[in-house]
Amino acid sequence: MAILYTEAPPSYREARLPLELEREIFELAAHEDPKTAYALLLVAKKVHIWIESSLYRVVVKAFHNGVFPSSPFIQKFEDAFHQGVLSPPEVKRQAFYVQHALISRGDALPLLTMCPNIVDLAIWCSIDSHKIEISTMLPLIPIQKLSIRPTYLLKENPDYFRDTTLARSLTHFDMVCVDGPFWADGWKFLSCLPRLTHLAVDGTNVYPTIEGVLRESETITLVVRCPGTVCAPGDKNEDTEYEKRYGEDSRLVFCKYPENPLNCWEGGANGGQDMWNMAESLQQVKKNRIRRLRREACQSRG
């Protein structure tokens, strides 16, 4: 006798996962392989909603060793900037998702204008063509981590950080190519930043600034000296002297920039290891060494 099924046989029924688990799988897949994640947008409308924000979370506009590893939607954002009010609504929505941005070539203004929610920003190119516009715009963005050549912001306005809301949001400041003579009193404003906990210094003649911050700041927990870069070939004798002088202060560590800083920054933006993570690991090693030496000193006296 034939069997008449009123629904699909058990072996053919669609296997369904809990919605939360299904979403987590797609989000993880998009995070692990952003280059192919765009194909996932076509799977279903709900998947498009789930992963669209993760695709635009990190933006890179850069070139390295002759290769341009820029995010594929950079041009779309820049075109929308020039279109102004006529820019497509979906592009404005996608720009709203951007939280991490690295710009090391061309003009930084379009991205900063289009993306109002950046919390982690690295500008590794000249901003001279739009210095006033960019310095005015940065305080309008909730930046917590900033990597930039500070003279771009301070040369014409030494009180820049005192006068803007950027000072109240900044927690990590990577100062690139610091000009020592210009920074003779740089520690004064750095020590007044109310949320600043992490400071990295790449440049020449920077120890007066480092000493001032370590002495005066009430919030700083980590100062990273970055010797041996293009901007700071460094004086090994001076670095060695200060490393010994602050051997008992775990807040100061010496950490070389990685060979490929762009990949390092992008890795950190995607939840991996970056310069700050590496410096924190070195700091923990230094803390352990200080504890061990103090314990051994106490035992020897007892």
Q: What is the pLDDT of residues 77-96, one digit of tens each?
A: 888 888 876 778 888 888 89
- pLDDT at 223 exceeding the cut of 90: yes
pTM of the complete model: 0.83
User: What is the reported pLDDT for 257?
Assistant: 77
What confidence tens digit (pLDDT) does each residue in 20-53 have? 777 777 777 777 666 667 677 767 777 777 777 7
What's the mean pLDDT in 134-157?
84
Residue of 111, 45, 29 lying closest to 78 (CA atoms): 111
pLDDT number for residue 107: 81
Q: How many CA within 13 A on the CB side of residue 258?
A: 16
Contact 223, 201 (CB under 8 A): yes
What does the mean pLDDT of the chain come to? 80
Residue 11 belongs to a domain: no
Asked if residue 103 lies in contact with residue 61, where contact means CB atoms within 8 angstroms, the answer is: yes
Identify whether residues 111 and 259 lie together within a single domain.
Answer: yes
Those residues with Cβ within 8 angstroms of residue 299's Cβ, 6 or more apart along the chain or in another chain = none
206 and 82 together in one domain:
yes
pLDDT at 66 (0 to 100): 47
Residue range 237-277, pLDDT digits in tens? 778 888 888 889 999 999 887 778 888 898 898 888 899 99
> Residue 282's pLDDT is what?
94
Same domain, residue pair 153 and 24 = no
Predicted pLDDT of residue 280: 95
pLDDT at 103 over 70: yes
pLDDT for res 205 = 78
Statement to judge: residues 81 and 181 lie in one domain? yes
Residues 45 and 110 grouped into a single domain = no
286-299: average pLDDT: 89
> Do 186 and 266 lie in a common domain?
yes
User: Is the domain of 95 the same as that of 25?
Assistant: no
Which residues touch 51 (CB under 8 Å, ≥6 apart)? 26, 27, 30, 37, 40, 41
* pLDDT at 234 (0 to 100): 56
Residue 221 has pLDDT above 60, yes or no: yes
* Res 213 pLDDT > 50: yes
Confidence of residue 214 (pLDDT cuts 50, 70, 90): very high
Does residue 73 sit within a domain?
Answer: yes
Predicted local distance difference test score (pLDDT) of residue 267: 86
Which residues constitute the domain of residue 37?
18-54
Same domain assignment for residues 294 and 271: yes
Residue 158 has pLDDT above 80, yes or no: no
